[in-house]
Chain A
């Protein structure tokens, strides 16, 4: 197999898939670091975002990328609503109780998708898209959009976290929650902000998965493990780590086909997760271990 083949069939699809994982993993890593629990409904929230975009596409005829901002806002609102309705009252309890609640939310969100949209596979646009060739690299437009949007969204988030007052407050809450409270930072606002960001990014992950493959009610749940593997691989709390982790997990999944039967693609994320917990639980970029 030559280099071009490797790039065309494994690396490029891996980076695209990895960008999708990265979008979800950033939200997971923020929730893990700031709210301090593993949010198990993250994948199904991505499913919801993807289907909300589908509804917009079908109702208005606009392309899925144009529907993306609306889907992000809607999913962010849902995420904040879920927090207010189901997680907020558990805040004083051990965090693992919220993990359990989020497992229930995962089931509920998926059930809503299944009732409203059914369980059959859907897609945003019908027909086959042919890739363009750039210096021998075969890339589809939608693949470029996926990677570009991921980079833009994450860069915007990084600027927000580094420069703005509330972005710094989020980092402070992740860094040292009790000192953040002593400094008068309003925990409730930070939580809402975290959900707006995580929910929006979740929707983006779902929409791009839908754009590049198809929409299914289980699509998000199946992304949950790779997204967590990405967050832990990069280092919990590290946004750039989650991106790096996402890309590595995506490429690793695609490359695994070279040595493993393709049925076991999904096992790669699990293997990476266990490996990291075994040898370096802080992740590549020295994140937290909760």
Chain B
């Protein structure tokens, strides 16, 4: 089976400096894949490369049979990848419902199926659909952000540190939501700071350090790997 997303030898960065060096990774259908690594390892950068926000100098990015390496962001969105940035990922002054509506901006026609899908994933949001998103708690904001990204019915969701700054309780909740999303046939690629918890929950993981991928494997295997543990899991 071919992968849903495949990065092959991707090298690139912002401006002239290469932050990513020869990164190769893939995500299969209905899979949760996590990228972990120390600060400044290029985790978020790898994600931005997929989303056309990086100057990719070498290598290729293939999504669902299309080479999307040089595509513009809006075309990638249309093709079926949604991205949730780490910060500033909601429209604070707009209601929850309007946030979702903006997520479906490119979609023509009836949106009720898309709303139903998101609201059934996040019942909390449905009750408060008229509330301004900026007044919500951190965990709820993350739900709005993910809900916005799911409105176009993507095949792949990119999440940049969705649990940053959240309490352990919310972290667990977000991971649970990821599983629920995955169960609606959406693959997820996420970057995580909380490596231990993330590897425990993901199907597979990649360890990125200094812009290169160093290890890959199932979450459990990586957790068991001594080298990985020494690198940044705190021994």
Q: Which residues of A contact B (CB under 8 A)?
A: 165, 168-169, 171-172, 175-176, 178-186
CB of B148 within 8 A of chain A?
yes
A175 touches B91 (CB 8 A): yes
Q: What residues of A have a CB within 8 angstroms of the CB of B78 in the complex?
A: 184
Determine whether the beta carbon of B85 is less than 8 Å from that of A184. Answer: no
- With an 8 A cutoff between CB atoms, is B102 at the interface? yes
Q: Is the CB of B88 within 8 A of A176?
A: yes
A168-B98, A168-B101 are contacts. A184–B77 as well, Cβ < 8 Å? yes
Q: 7 more A-B contacts (CB under 8 A) besides A168-B102, A179-B102, A183-B102?
A: A168-B98, A172-B94, A175-B94, A180-B102, A182-B77, A184-B73, A185-B105
Q: Does the CB pair A178–B91 fall under 8 Å?
A: no
Interface size on B, residues (CB 8 A): 21
Contact A176/B74 with A168-B101, A182-B83 known, Cβ cut-off 8 Å = no
* A-B interface pairs (CB < 8 A), number: 56
In the complex, whether B10 has a CB less than 8 A from a CB of chain A is no
Task: Tell me, in angstroms, the Cα distance from A185 to B73 when the chains sit together.
Answer: 11
A171–B93 contact, CB under 8 A? Answer: yes
**B156 sits at the interface (CB 8 A):** no
Q: Which 9 A-B pairs have the closest CB atoms?
A: A184-B106, A175-B91, A184-B74, A184-B77, A172-B102, A183-B102, A175-B93, A183-B105, A184-B105
User: Could you tell me if A176 and B77 are in contact, using CB atoms closer than 8 angstroms?
Assistant: no
- Output the nearest chain B residue to A287 by Cβ-Cβ distance: B93
Complex Cα distance, B184 from A163, in Å, reads 31
Taken together as a complex, chains A and B put the C-alpha atoms of A242 and B119 apart, in Å, by: 36
**A182 touching B73, Cβ below 8 Å:** yes
B103: A residues at CB distance < 8 A: 183
The answer to whether B102 touches A181 (Cβ under 8 A) is no
Of the listed residues A176, A180, A181, A183, the one surrounded by the most CB atoms of chain B closer than 10 A to its CB is A183
Residues from chain A with Cβ under 8 Å of B55 in the complex: none
B92 interface residue per 8 A CB criterion: yes
Residues in B with CB closer than 8 Å to A172 are 91, 94, 98, 102
Closest to A187 in B: B74
Instruction: Give Cα distance in the complex from A180 to B91, angstroms.
Output: 8
Flag whether B118 is at the interface (Cβ < 8 A).
no
Instruction: From the candidates A169, A175, A183, A186, name the one contacting B148 in the complex (CB within 8 A).
Output: A183
| Interface hits, B84-131 → A, CB 8 Å | 85, 88-94, 98, 101-103, 105-106
| Contact with A179, one of B51, B74, B90, B106 (Cβ below 8 angstroms) | B90
Which of B74, B98, B102 has the most chain A CB atoms closer than 10 A to its own CB? B102
**Bound-complex Cα distance A260 to B193 (A):** 61
Inter-chain contacts of A175 with B (CB < 8 A): 91-94
A183 touches B93 (CB 8 A): no
Task: Find the A residue at minimum CB distance from B92.
Answer: A175
Which chain B positions have C-beta within 8 A of A181?
A: 73-74
Measured CA separation A179–B92 after assembly (Å): 11
13 A-B residue pairs with CB within 8 Å = A168-B98, A168-B101, A171-B91, A171-B98, A176-B88, A176-B91, A178-B85, A179-B85, A179-B90, A180-B102, A181-B73, A182-B51, A182-B77
- Report the minimum CB–CB distance from B152 to chain A (whole Å): 8
Specify the chain B residue showing the minimal Cβ separation from A175: B91
Chain B residues contacting A171 (CB-CB under 8 Å) are 91, 93-94, 98
User: Cβ of A179 and Cβ of B91 under 8 Å apart?
Assistant: yes
How far does the Cβ of B179 sit from chain A's closest Cβ, in whole Å? 24
Q: How far is the CA of A78 from the CA of B77 in the complex (A)?
A: 34
- Residues B88 and A178 in contact, CB atoms below 8 Å apart: yes
A183 to B100, CA, bound (A): 10
- Chain A residues with Cβ below 8 Å from B91 are 171-172, 175-176, 179-180
With contacts A169-B102, A171-B94, A172-B102 taken as known, whether A183 is within 8 angstroms of B89 at the C-beta atoms is no
Contact at A179–B89, with CB atoms within 8 Å? Answer: yes
* Interchain CA distance A167-B148 in the complex, whole Å: 18
Q: Which residue of A lies closest to B101 (CB)?
A: A168
